[in-house]
Structure 1
Amino acid sequence: MLTIQAKLGFDSKEDKQEVLDLMRRWSSCMRFAYNRLLESKGRNELKRELQGIFNLNSRYVDDAIIKAKSVLESCKERCENPSRVIFGSRSLFEKLKKRHINGNAYKKLKKEWQERRKGNLYSRGDKSKKGNLNTRIKIDENGAVLRINVSERKYAYARIQAGCKKGKSREELLEAISTCGEAYSVELKLKNGKVYAYFTIEENFPEVTVTKENGVIGIDVNAYPDHIAWSETDENGNLVSYSKILMPELASGSSDKREYYRWQHAHEVVRLAEEKEKAIAIERLDIRDKGKRGDFSGRKSRRIRHSFSYRSLLEKIKVLAKRKGIQVIEVNPAYTSMIGMLKYVPQYMISKDVAAAYVIARRGLRIKERIPDNYMKLLENLDVDSLEDLKDYVSKAIKNRRLKKKQLKEIDYAIKVLQSLGSEPGEALIPLDGTSISAYSESYKLWRVLKVAVVTPLSPGKVLRDISVLKGVLHSGQVGRPG
């Protein structure tokens, strides 16, 4: 979807007042429809009722019902109580309830909340009507004008002010939208007494011509430090080249500034894929269950959702790649960093982020990661008693140095995995049902056990900084134990 934002300027106060009144009635209609949907009323029944109550035509009423349904569905997806929805922003409503805010600050806050609550209008496009019947873009000698249906056979007109920085390009886009005959949707919002319009039209992307047949570029986006790590592979999954794209601008600044630089860095990634004629592999994102308790309470989850806009950057890469006909492959991000650190950092002496991008690229080619032979030998000789000894050592280190307890949880998990595979205390790991241990080599469980067996003895209780020591472990299959 392509969205263009513009401010509306009215030649007469009467036109603006009529549009504001229309937005107020439509917003009330949408809230009323939402409450009736909670009572399980049907769409057809609602349409007849709402048209008479709010004096809106059937198209406006239908759009209000659609918006109300989308709010209801979104609320259910987030597992929230639909009856507790507050239109106009819950955060503003909670601030208004605080008694210490008064005077001009209270008036300003109340005005903002009322604008968000009452200053909305949404009008869907219709291809059979060559664009949009209720809110139609018109082009005259002075530029683009929005014709708004305020009542039966009565229209208000507003000049579309595209802005001074990119006005020409926006006006050209608006002219193209108005003459192409395709359906476009228009959404009006009231902000600080001014009306803003958002024009949305569905893009027709070209046919995909750059596919993974030539290889893949894997992308690993890191919230801290702010950078994109990328790795290029050939069609067989062999590493060809790699590097990083630094993004210090995303660490601070206004939202508009960060949005601008996200587009710039997304263009860099797509240009890279276009030059090398290779598909792009990115992580399939789902951060709904992130955080310590699955409620977004963790620092990493908050950073991803608010400061870094992790999802926004990858969505921009997807859109730009589609415009260039470049295939975008979304892969499961589970354990990419862990596999990259244990397997490819020692082999190629690259950073953990680049190694994770390499794993993502290989997953884009549907290549499964197997545990190297020397690591498998180490796992075959691993028993529960050795992990219990390691657990005692880490416990003492945590007590003496006040380290975090994350390593203890990983060791407990590794012990449970070994026991589930048939290992008893004091015995070597024996696969169940006579199955070769190599059958489990593609299981994420064994990668986690391997991390405990290899990384924890080298760096108990903290992050392993010198990854080069893993090279000797990978080639010898042996690791030292803490004394």
Structure 2
Amino acid sequence: MIVIQAKLIFLNQQDKQIVLDLMRRWSSCMKFAYKRLLEGYDRKTLKRDLQGTFDLNSRYVDDAIMKARGVLESSRQLDNNPKKVIFGGRDLFGKLQKRHINGKEYQKLKTKWQERRKGNLYSRGDKSKKGNLNTRIEVKENGTFLRINVGERKYVYARIEAGYKKNKRREELLQEIAESNIPYSVELKLKNGNIYAYFAIEEEYPEIKITKEKGVIGIDINAHPGNISWTEVDEKGNLISYGNIPMPELASGSKDKKEYFRWQYAHEIVKIAKEKGKAIVIEKLDIKEKGKRGDFSGRKSRRIRHSFSYKSLLSKIKTLAKREGIEVIEVNPSYTSIIGMLKYAPQYMITKDVAAAYVIARRGLGLQEKIPDNYIKFLNALTVDELEELREHVKKTVRNKHIKKKHLREINKAMEFLQSLESKPGRVLEPLDGTSFSAYDFWRVLKVAVVTPLSPEKVKRDFSVLKELLIQGKWGGP
């Protein structure tokens, strides 16, 4: 069970007064129903009579009767006299009876007691009505709102204020509830002149029916240029189809607008997976990633924090997929972009981003990425001296200090790797046991050797020029 508290902000004072009047009538209805239940009235008779008396629809009346029955049963279980129940609180009522309290203190207690007696409204969720008919959460571009039924086909909207940054997760949960169409209960309470809403939900996810048995959909989210790349693969890892979903709305605008559109994009991805009957593979990201220096200056950390909310979008995809019975697989994102750009972008003539999504999909199936034979030949022929020449070339051609430092750092790492490799008999390309290098370092060297000369100032998105090197093994030209 999840319970979320939020404050309601009304567009104008008139709307607030309408809701306060509704809460007053509902509270009176609940107290009246309690007395009638003590007298032995049944639910059907009460439901018919109370609608006209308090000008409430049948759902509100039914919820009032349910609450009254709950108070009655609780009183009996505690061995209290049901006829002596005091709505508004026995302790507060007792303080009001003391004659030594007067003036402002007395008025303050009286107001608090009256709010507890008259400032209540409860509305149960209904699965057949996709959530809650009388009090429905609606996600709009300018925020999250509660639509309150105040009469026949009459509604009042109040903005849901779930808290500041530290409580941002509350608002995200409310939006997840709204998008899920599952039943949730809403209880309104008046406190110090403000109306607060309490949302309660108990969600049960359906059994996973769509698994990776027939293949997967790989997802790669790109901060720049701001799009979702996806690929469809079969159970053997073969590429079937792919596409891109632009996300221009996430480049600017308010927090609420961005959150609204994240939900829309998450729905698009889950819809694709559902239509194709395949599981979803996403990157497993940790927002606590601090980078190598521990100061959040790493490339991955900056991308997560300063672009759009990477993790928030992936979380929404996971939530919606679970509700559709679709398996979600999370994989290590390390080197997916590098492997994609060097191996699959030129091979299938696809963009770097789509190629990264393809690597993510294959990784979700548990497939390993081997370096193509021609790339191995190329690496075996590569020398430290050639990388030294490349480093001097970068120093001369790249003016941007940030770009230069990044490329020089990569080249230095590649040179260090090759020097360790040359010390091995036969210069065999395999992971170096007992060193800090791994299989991924081969891809790092490849990137430095073939991408940096092509585009020293910017990572290219078209790698068709590498096709001859990858397939035919041609290198050594201009």
TM-score bracket for the superposition, by shorter chain length: 0.5 to 0.7
2:219–2:282 contact (8 Å) kept in structure 1: yes
| Helix, strand or coil at the partner of 2:197 | strand
1:384–1:423 contact (8 Å) kept in structure 2: no
| RMSD over equivalenced CA pairs, Å | 4.3
1:6–1:162 contact (8 Å) kept in structure 2: no
Quote the Cα distance in structure 1 between the aligned partners of 2:336 and 2:280: 16
Shift of 1:379: 1.1
Letter in 1 for 2:232: E
Shift of 1:216: 0.4
Letter in 1 for 2:366: R
Tell me the alpha carbon deviations over residues 257-282 of structure 1, each in whole angstroms, 9 at most, x when there is no partner: 21111111111111111110000000
Quote the Cα distance in structure 2 between the aligned partners of 1:6 and 1:354: 43
> Is the radius of gyration larger for structure 1 or structure 2?
2
Quote the Cα distance in structure 2 between the aligned partners of 1:459 and 1:265: 32
Quote the Cα distance in structure 2 between the aligned partners of 1:175 and 1:481: 62
Letter in 2 for 1:459: S
Shift of 1:480: 3.7
Tell me the alpha carbon deviations over residues 96-132 of structure 1, each in whole angstroms, 9 at most, x when there is no partner: xxxxxxxxxxxxxxxxxxxxxxxxxxxxxxxxxxxxx
Shift of 1:326: 0.5
1:383–1:423 contact (8 Å) kept in structure 2: no
| 1:472 is the counterpart of 2:468 | yes
Number of matched pairs: 344
| Map of 1:245 onto structure 2 | 245
Quote the Cα distance in structure 2 between the aligned partners of 1:211 and 1:296: 36
Quote the Cα distance in structure 2 between the aligned partners of 1:383 and 1:481: 16
Report 1:72-471 matches (<5 A): 140-141=60-61, 157-159=119-121, 162=136, 167=147, 176-177=183-184, 194-290=194-290, 293-297=293-297, 301-302=301-302, 304-305=304-305, 308-398=308-398, 404-423=404-423, 429-430=427-428, 443-464=439-460, 466-471=462-467
Letter in 2 for 1:356: A
Letter in 2 for 1:470: L
| Helix, strand or coil at the partner of 1:7 | strand
2:213–2:235 contact (8 Å) kept in structure 1: yes
2:120–2:190 contact (8 Å) kept in structure 1: no
Quote the Cα distance in structure 2 between the aligned partners of 1:431 and 1:410: 19
2:380–2:429 contact (8 Å) kept in structure 1: no
| Map of 1:117 onto structure 2 | none
Shift of 1:390: 2.0
CA separation of 1:151/1:239 partners in 2, compared to 1, >3 Å: closer, same or farther? same
Shift of 1:473: 1.3
Letter in 1 for 2:8: K
Quote the Cα distance in structure 2 between the aligned partners of 1:223 and 1:467: 20
Gaps of 5+ in 1: 16-138, 179-183
CA separation of 1:268/1:277 partners in 2, compared to 1, >3 Å: closer, same or farther? same
Shift of 1:476: 3.0
Tell me the alpha carbon deviations over residues 171-191 of structure 1, each in whole angstroms, 9 at most, x when there is no partner: 9x999545xxxxx9x99999x
| Map of 1:7 onto structure 2 | 8
| Helix, strand or coil at the partner of 2:393 | helix
Quote the Cα distance in structure 1 between the aligned partners of 2:456 and 2:340: 20
Quote the Cα distance in structure 2 between the aligned partners of 1:323 and 1:358: 25
Give the TM-score normalised by structure 1.
Answer: 0.61
Quote the Cα distance in structure 2 between the aligned partners of 1:433 and 1:320: 40
| Helix, strand or coil at the partner of 1:286 | coil
Shift of 1:416: 1.4
1:331–1:364 contact (8 Å) kept in structure 2: yes
Letter in 1 for 2:333: P
Tell me the alpha carbon deviations over residues 135-185 of structure 1, each in whole angstroms, 9 at most, x when there is no partner: xxxx732978999998667755433665787737999x999545xxxxx9x
Letter in 2 for 1:158: N
Quote the Cα distance in structure 1 between the aligned partners of 2:183 and 2:430: 66
Quote the Cα distance in structure 2 between the aligned partners of 1:368 and 1:354: 18
Tell me the alpha carbon deviations over residues 367-419 of structure 1, each in whole angstroms, 9 at most, x when there is no partner: 11000000011111122222222222222323699962211111100111122
Shift of 1:201: 2.6
Quote the Cα distance in structure 2 between the aligned partners of 1:345 and 1:224: 18
| Map of 1:113 onto structure 2 | none
Tell me the alpha carbon deviations over residues 265-301 of structure 1, each in whole angstroms, 9 at most, x when there is no partner: 1111111111100000000011322568443356874
Gaps of 5+ in 2: 10-15, 25-58, 72-86, 93-115, 123-134, 139-144, 150-176
2:8–2:197 contact (8 Å) kept in structure 1: yes
Shift of 1:253: 1.8
Quote the Cα distance in structure 2 between the aligned partners of 1:163 and 1:289: 34
| Helix, strand or coil at the partner of 2:398 | helix
CA separation of 1:203/1:175 partners in 2, compared to 1, >3 Å: closer, same or farther? closer
